[in-house]
């Protein structure tokens, strides 16, 4: 198979994700740190009270389990999928829905089953972007070979904060659909152009390695210093001739790290995916290649928006509503494309740098980011009138020029435990009407 044929295989995979507009849906993944309510220390996968124990308890509630080397590392039931990330981050993924209210109901139902498992142990699912107290050197990687391989690869080839990415971060990631290559081009362009805005609107990282982090957008800094070849914003994101084929070329020219051979993950290190396709061009290995890159905006059979920190309810659903209102409304999409048509990679990089320093007070075209956010909320509200109430909490904090991080900081200065309790899935569920 020559390079052109390999590229076409990936193009066909991405193209197969095209949907009719009436079938567009929205999905999300939410990562949490499981934290002891009193000590604020993050729980490991291992030991008494650890994540492994909780996964077994959830399995008994009727979840189907995914077991590797005798360890439960994934669970699924109905529209819910649970996985454990490298340093025991607890990830909840919900199947996509066209209606945010239905996603809300799915989330509440799932959490009503999950939260009691942790509550009885005095644990909370912390909805923040970085560990509240524990340092990454004190957390073991879960028993999954691929994470050992990634850890080793990043030790040699990664940036200064590659291991912080694996072991210290938690995000809220959204998935949106596209109808054609032209629709893909617009949405991919805009999602990347909005990268510093979404990092800033949903910045929720106040503590870094046990100390107050004085700057802003900590996760943005970590991702940008993880692996320049596979993270951050790709330099072709604003090219006028952006195509599926151009994205596929990037995938072919990226180190694969590991692949699954004969049912077992095998370390490959710096071997390019193009070389792997000489012996394996299956959909499974293409999916892996598309998944082993971690840019701000990632493409599979949908577009992943990966910038927001993990945030508690109601900010998580405000994020969903904002993205739906901006990306699934033709008028808003066209208007935004016009606003940002002159965005390029150097401008974007400069804006991300300024946003790390000034947060929502950073400016783009002489207007502060939080003011852009207020305008975006207005646009989104008009596009989704039946779901517009989900945007109100974001509107309120943006009016004050604040992000979730600012709310967390004010609570933290009062009492770190109060801050963590408020910024947890446990309290989120109670705000949604659940009682212990």
Tens of pLDDT, residues 35-49:
999 999 999 999 999
The closest alpha carbon to 187, from 357, 411, 17, belongs to 17
Find out whether 313 and 428 touch, Cβ atoms under 8 Å. Answer: yes
Find out whether 74 and 82 touch, Cβ atoms under 8 Å. Answer: yes
Question: For residue 436, is it within any domain?
Answer: no
pLDDT grade for 69, boundaries at 50, 70 and 90: confident
- State how far the Cα of 337 lies from the Cα of 426, in Å rounded to an integer: 38
Q: Is the pLDDT of residue 205 over 70?
A: yes
pLDDT grade for 53, boundaries at 50, 70 and 90: very high
> Which tokens belong to 334?
């066209």
Q: pLDDT for 110-134, tens place per residue? A: 999 999 999 999 999 999 999 999 9
- State how far the Cα of 340 lies from the Cα of 189, in Å rounded to an integer: 9
Average pLDDT over residues 336-351: 97
Find out whether 114 and 60 touch, Cβ atoms under 8 Å. Answer: no
User: Which residue shows structure tokens 């996760």?
Assistant: 219
Q: Is the pLDDT of residue 102 over 70?
A: yes
Average pLDDT over residues 240-265: 96
| Structural element, H or E, at residue 31 | strand 26-36
Average pLDDT over residues 68-90: 96
pTM value is 0.97
- Give residue 36's domain range: 3-431
Q: What is the 3-state secondary structure (H, E, C) of 84-134?
A: ECCCCCEEEEEEEECCHHHHHHHHHHHHHHHHHHHHCCCEEEECCCECCCC
> Which tokens belong to 6?
């390999």
pLDDT of residue 359: 98
pLDDT grade for 263, boundaries at 50, 70 and 90: confident
Question: For residue 327, is it within any domain?
Answer: yes
Phi/psi of residue 292, nearest 5 degrees: -90, 5
- Going by DSSP bridges, is the β-strand pair 294-295/231-232 parallel, antiparallel, or unpaired? parallel
Q: pLDDT for 385-411, tens place per residue? A: 999 999 999 999 999 999 999 999 999
Name residue 331's beta-bridge partners.
none
Read off the CATH number of the domain in which 83 is found: 3.30.590.20
Q: Is the pLDDT of residue 1 over 90?
A: no
Q: Total domain count for the chain?
A: 1
- State how far the Cα of 162 lies from the Cα of 156, in Å rounded to an integer: 10
pLDDT of residue 436: 62
Question: For residue 159, is it within any domain?
Answer: yes
Q: Where are the alpha helices (DSSP H) in 279-424?
A: 283-291, 315-327, 330-339, 345-358, 369-383, 392-399, 404-414, 416-422
Q: pLDDT for 128-180, tens place per residue? A: 999 999 999 999 999 999 999 999 999 999 999 999 999 999 999 999 999 99
Q: pLDDT for 280-294, tens place per residue? A: 999 999 999 999 999
């Amino acid at each position: 198979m020559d390079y052109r044929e390999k590229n076409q295989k990936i193009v066909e995979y991405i193209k197969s994700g095209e949907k009719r507009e009436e079938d567009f849906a929205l999905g999300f993944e939410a990562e949490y740190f499981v934290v002891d309510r009193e000590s604020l220390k993050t729980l490991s996968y291992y030991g008494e009270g650890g994540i492994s124990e909780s996964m077994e308890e959830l399995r008994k509630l009727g979840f189907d389990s995914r077991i590797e080397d005798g360890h439960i590392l994934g669970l699924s039931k109905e529209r819910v999928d649970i996985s454990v990330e490298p340093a025991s981050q607890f990830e909840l993924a919900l199947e996509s829905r066209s209606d945010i209210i239905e996603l809300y109901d799915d989330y509440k139902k799932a959490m009503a089953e999950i939260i009691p498992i942790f509550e009885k142990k005095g644990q909370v699912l912390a909805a923040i972007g970085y560990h509240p107290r524990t340092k990454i050197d004190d957390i073991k990687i879960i028993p999954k070979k691929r994470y050992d391989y990634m850890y080793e690869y990043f030790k040699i080839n990664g940036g200064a904060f590659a291991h912080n990415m694996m072991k210290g971060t938690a995000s809220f990631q959204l998935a949106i659909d596209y109808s054609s290559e032209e629709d893909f081009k617009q949405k991919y362009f805009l999602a990347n152009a909005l990268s510093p805005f979404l990092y800033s609107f949903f910045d929720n990282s106040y503590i870094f390695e046990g100390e107050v982090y004085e700057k802003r957008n900590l996760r943005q800094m970590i991702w940008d210093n993880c692996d320049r070849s596979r993270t951050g914003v790709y330099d072709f994101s604003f090219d006028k001739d952006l195509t599926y084929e151009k994205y596929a070329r990037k995938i072919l020219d990226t180190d694969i790290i590991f692949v699954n051979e004969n049912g077992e993950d095998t370390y490959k290190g710096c071997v390019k995916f193009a070389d792997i396709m000489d012996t394996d061009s299956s959909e499974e290995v293409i999916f892996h290649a598309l998944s082993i890159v971690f840019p701000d905006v990632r493409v599979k059979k949908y577009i992943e928006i990966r910038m927001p920190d993990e945030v508690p309810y109601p900010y998580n659903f405000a994020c969903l509503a904002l993205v739906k209102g901006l990306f699934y409304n033709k008028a808003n999409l066209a208007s935004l494309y016009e606003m940002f048509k002159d965005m390029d990679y150097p401008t974007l990089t400069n804006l991300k740098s300024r946003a790390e320093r000034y947060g929502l007070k950073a400016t783009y075209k002489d207007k502060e980011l939080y003011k852009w956010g207020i305008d975006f909320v207005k646009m989104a509200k008009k596009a989704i009138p039946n779901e517009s109430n989900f945007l109100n909490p974001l509107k309120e904090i943006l009016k004050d020029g604040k992000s979730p991080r600012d709310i967390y900081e004010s609570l933290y200065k009062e009492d770190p435990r109060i801050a963590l309790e408020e910024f947890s899935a446990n309290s989120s569920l109670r705000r949604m009407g659940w009682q212990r």
